[in-house]
Structure 1
């Protein structure tokens, strides 16, 4: 009997070590870091309800958040206790499909927005005053726009430069072209100029991307990005300057020396990864189609441990996420984006205390 139980246990462990999810774990991790996710995070608590597709979250020095709504083109200031003030409505934004008012980043009293305009996606800088957003300055234009794959994430890196993600808008060839801003991660100064040390002397920092919507840096300053796959594999990549991440030649791991392999892949039904944040030794990735929050523990060398799904199907589609002052996470639902099923109170921003 003991021998039979041993065989059954080994069979179960072997089944869980493959590429499909086992219990609340999923993804392909090669190699797997010898690090675990630890205890579960706290149950989410509502900060504010009744929003419409919150897309980007960035924090002001005093602890309030600046939040964008994709389809209304509203820029909101939200306090930790849920008081909401409309700072502006971006009249130049043209919400359509996956485009609209997308990412936001903050540096002192400067607010940076990524939005879809009449002819292109663009990055614009404003100044925050008591009256709202003023002193509009166009920093980057001619980023390809489309009904799909507009990228849109903005974030300041530990080097002080502004990073932006762009999509290939469904035109796959753009991702491999270094004369196009589509399908890239960009790196720039606060004035929109190429940052010193960029690998091509242009705004482009990395290329061969399909549609990156998440950026995060770990405690050692390493940059990671979450990327939508087509029909097989979603990805988390560790970003290297000048790196080619393979799209459209490779989806997931290609083991082709011309392209950089992801550190983690999921099936597209498990993820559709959008926003990403780093906290307490893990990457936290908001999943749209997967309707869960993925926790990815990182090893000391930046490798990925086995990912763990949190809150699966409890809140619907998750898109926006940011590390808040004090160590928590703010997470936003995206159930009003035309692909979800809105629930009472949607869309909402929630606070989570990571493990």
Structure 2
């Protein structure tokens, strides 16, 4: 496999640093197909055949901590690099260009940085990004016209930042409203405070203002969240979210306007009707840690970090049954999951972020066929 030399530019006191990658000397993991084993979900018609994942190609390797993904209409992806704040435009065959560094992204953020991305619906030149600044987490709008970053404008500011629990995902609904996932910034009581932006899913317009009809008269759409890093809509336009638990239970939730998902009062299911139970859950948290989320044919595909797999969960019935674990152990920690215009699923690994020993070629971006 040919090594990709990714230009990684970092703004530090106005200085520009560029680094390359060493030649790969070991053979990368083979292209494989994994069909799921296990019991189909309860109260559903089993998926026929069971979900499977076939790696089509390795798009690029040796790219540092890819996090957010969205797609141009022609099929190229735009991808954020968490720690260096660089945006890359990458084609399915691995050709890429750098769009530059998003200004103002802090360098001392641990799990923060340049996170989720969303291109404006119907406008390929306008990009929204979730980022960690020196003082807060925020959402910015920028132009990427002509292949470079310009006109960066903050539209939502004042989301508390921390070393972890920063949230960071973005998704547009069919009406052009922007949904934003935020973490509790390691301050759990904020999640139950509907006046706080933290521990929430927010719904705003494209200027960052609260959408008319939001349940609390502000930007908050749902609350009681610990750290949501995946958002996706199903075929009925319903919003779903992945959520990291503390020590006990990770969750996949169906998100309803105004609902309370329980954190920090509870993790997973409970007997209190004031809190919404998850559709699917995994215990203990070291078996899952679901991050990125994409829904294809009403099957939720989740990037499982500590589970080192692509989880598949059919979204039928009242509660999910057995989770299908695809590509398990083949590529390490899977972070982002996004559907490309050609129907392929793009997934990213997150093995160079300090939680696992990197493999030769990490981190990598893969194209995966889940439609069969």
Task: Confirm or deny: 8 A CA contact 2:43 2:318 kept in the other structure.
Answer: no
> Are residue 134 (structure 1) and residue 150 (structure 2) matched?
yes
2:10 — aligned with what?
A: none
1:176 is matched with 192
Distance (whole Å) between structure 1 residues aligned to residue 309 and residue 152 of structure 2: 36
Q: In the alignment, does 2:345 pair up with 1:329?
A: yes
Distance in 1, Cα, partners of 2:350 & 2:364: 8
1:107-147 deviations in Å (ceiling 9; x for gaps): 11210010000010000000121141111111000001000
Q: Distance in 2 between matches of 1:33 and 1:187?
A: 31
Whether 1:245 aligns to 2:266 is no
Question: d(CA) in 2 for partners of 1:179 and 1:193?
Answer: 15
Summarize the alignment of residues 297-312 of structure 1 with structure 2, pairs less than 5 Å apart.
297-299=314-316, 304-312=320-328
Paired residue for 1:64? 76
Superposition pairs for residues 224-263 of structure 1, below 5 Å?
Answer: 224-263=240-279
- Equivalent in the alignment of 1:152: 168
* Aligned pair partner of 1:273 in 276, 290, 305: 290
- Do 1:103 and 1:114's aligned partners in 2 also have CA atoms closer than 8 Å? yes
1:41 aligns with 2:53: yes
Aligned mates of 1:74, 1:302 — CA distance in 2: 41
- Give me the CA root mean square deviation: 1.8
Q: 1:39 to 1:99 in 2, by over 3 A?
A: closer
Of 115, 137, 152 in structure 2, the residue corresponding to residue 102 of structure 1 is: 115
Are 1:289 and 2:301 an aligned pair?
no
Partners of 2:51 and 2:136 in 1: how far apart? 44
| Shift in CA distance, 25/74, structure 1 to aligned 2, threshold 3 Å | farther
Per-residue deviation, residues 192-251 of structure 1 (Å, max 9, x unmatched) = 111122111211100000000001111111111000001111000000000100000000
From 37, 57, 77, give the equivalent of 2:89: 77
Where in structure 1 do 4 or more consecutive aligned residues deviate above 6 Å? none
Is 1:113 aligned to 2:125, yes or no?
no
Give the count of matched residue pairs: 330
How far is 1:106 from its partner? 0.4
* 1:352 corresponds to: 368
